[in-house]
């Protein structure tokens, strides 16, 4: 009993291999003629129908399904092994590796489909009857699937988007590319959400790739300084706050320009660059803003808030006697 229990426990962990072994045994029994009784029953006219000039029996359909399932299982194992080997090629770009994997999968499964039908005894020349129906299906029901598949191949061939890239979609959604497949791209946002973006949207829409050619990123901070302040000193303090941050790079150098004389303040724009935008821009932006606030307070420079000065002019009201 213990051995039987151990067997069922192993089968529960490896049920896929159990199903595969069962399919292989059934297929061998069919090909060797050990299921002749079942064949005679399922080959009766009551279980058959005619399609064009070909007669299709229930036993033929069963044999084809078992053969296809068996061959596809074998191809799945082979494709998984090949994918593992290709992904270990770190010298090859990730998009190129994914393109190679997709092409190999397509070739293997097409060959598996042909081999499975040939094992089942299906005349492959009869498949030409289905070509028209397949074309109509691709034109209507499978149009989006085919479009996403072709778009995925285009993206992989162009190397425009790779795994690990930081991208921003047209609707403002931003995140890191975690996986690219034949149908979609898996995008992980900054708050941990995983979004499946169809490949067609990546082709037809506008996509910002922050890390396409390099990982540098620019940070912009708008600062208002009160009228009457030393503007040159304010500019120097802002440049010093940006330059002293450890994530700021020297080339391009930080830049501070006066952009506007506003209603309540003189507006400055501070620009500085960081080496790796994938580490996040909020923290260095916050650090520089804190440094600017502390430097302004130390040197007596005020960051004003919007305010209005209202002057009331009292007009002279003539007396009634004067009016007379």
Same domain, 271 and 224: yes
- Considering its fold, how many domains does the chain have in total? 3
Same domain, 199 and 250: no
Same domain, 33 and 82: yes
pLDDT bracket for residue 13 (50, 70, 90): low
> Whole-model pTM?
0.57
Q: Among candidates 207, 94, 202, which has minimal Cα distance to 149? A: 202
Same domain, 61 and 125: yes
What digits encode the pLDDT tens for the residues 196-211?
A: 999 888 888 889 998 8
Same domain, 222 and 267: yes
What digits encode the pLDDT tens for the residues 166-178?
A: 999 988 899 999 8
Which DSSP symbol is given to 159? T
Over the Cα atoms of the chain, what is R_g?
35
Same domain, 42 and 66: yes
261 inside domain: yes
**CATH label of the domain that carries residue 285:** 3.30.70.100
- Predicted pLDDT at 222: 95
Count CB neighbours of 178 within 10 A.
Answer: 12
Residues written for the chain: 324
189 inside domain: yes
Same domain, 80 and 30: yes
Same domain, 71 and 186: no
- Tokens 């609707």 identify what position? 171
Judge residue 197's burial from the number of C-beta atoms within 10 Å of its C-beta, 0-12 exposed, 13-18 middle, 19 or more buried: buried
274 inside domain: yes
pLDDT(313) > 90: no
Q: How far apart are CA 29 and CA 48, in angstroms?
A: 22
What digits encode the pLDDT tens for the residues 79-88?
A: 888 888 887 8
| Mean predicted lDDT score pLDDT of the chain | 80
- Give the HSE-up count for residue 17: Cα atoms under 13 Å, Cβ half-sphere: 7
Q: Among candidates 11, 32, 30, 9, which has minimal Cα distance to 21? A: 11
- Predicted pLDDT at 75: 84
- Predicted pLDDT at 136: 67
What digits encode the pLDDT tens for the residues 111-127?
A: 887 777 777 666 666 55
- Give the HSE-up count for residue 223: Cα atoms under 13 Å, Cβ half-sphere: 33
Which DSSP symbol is given to 308? -
pLDDT(102) > 90: no
**More confidently predicted of 140 and 231:** 231
Percent of the chain clearing pLDDT 70 (strictly above): 77
Helix (H, G, I), strand (E, B) or coil at 254: coil
- Domain interval for residue 175: 160-209
- The torsion angles phi and psi of 71, rounded to 5 degrees, stand at -65, -40
Same domain, 233 and 260: yes
Same domain, 198 and 244: no
Mean local confidence (pLDDT), 276-298: 92
Same domain, 103 and 23: yes
Q: How far apart are CA 166 and CA 190, in angstroms?
A: 10
């Amino acid at each position: 009993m213990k051995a039987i229990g151990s067997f069922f426990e192993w089968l529960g962990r490896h049920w896929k291999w159990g199903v595969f072994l069962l399919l292989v045994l059934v297929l061998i029994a069919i090909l060797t003629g050990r299921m002749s009784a079942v064949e005679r029953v399922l080959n009766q006219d009551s279980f058959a129908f005619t399609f064009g000039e070909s007669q299709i029996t229930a036993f033929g359909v069963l044999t084809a399904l078992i053969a296809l399932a068996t061959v596809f299982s074998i191809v799945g194992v082979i494709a998984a092994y090949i994918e593992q080997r290709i992904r270990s090629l770190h010298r090859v770009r990730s998009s190129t590796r994914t393109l190679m994997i997709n092409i190999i999968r397509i070739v293997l499964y097409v060959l598996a489909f042909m081999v499975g039908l040939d094992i089942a005894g299906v005349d492959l020349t009869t498949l030409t009857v289905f070509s028209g129906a397949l074309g109509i299906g691709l034109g209507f029901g499978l149009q989006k699937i085919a479009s996403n598949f072709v778009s995925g191949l285009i993206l992989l061939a162009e190397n425009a988007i790779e795994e690990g890239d930081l991208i921003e979609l047209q609707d403002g959604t931003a995140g890191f590319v975690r996986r690219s497949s034949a149908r979609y791209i898996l995008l992980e946002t900054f708050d941990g959400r995983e979004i499946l973006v169809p490949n067609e949207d990546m082709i037809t829409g506008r996509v910002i790739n922050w890390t396409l050619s390099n990982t540098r990123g620019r940070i912009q901070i708008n600062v208002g300084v009160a009228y009457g302040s030393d503007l040159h000193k304010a500019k120097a303090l802002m440049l010093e706050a940006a330059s002293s941050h450890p994530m700021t790079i020297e080339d391009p150098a930080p830049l501070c320009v006066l952009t506007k004389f506003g209603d309540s303040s003189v507006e400055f724009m501070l620009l500085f660059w960081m080496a790796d935008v994938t580490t996040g821009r909020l923290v260095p932006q916050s650090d520089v803003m804190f440094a600017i606030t502390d430097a302004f307070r130390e040197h007596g420079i005020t960051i004003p808030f919007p305010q209005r000065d209202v002057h009331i002019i009292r007009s002279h009201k003539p007396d009634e006697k004067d009016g007379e």
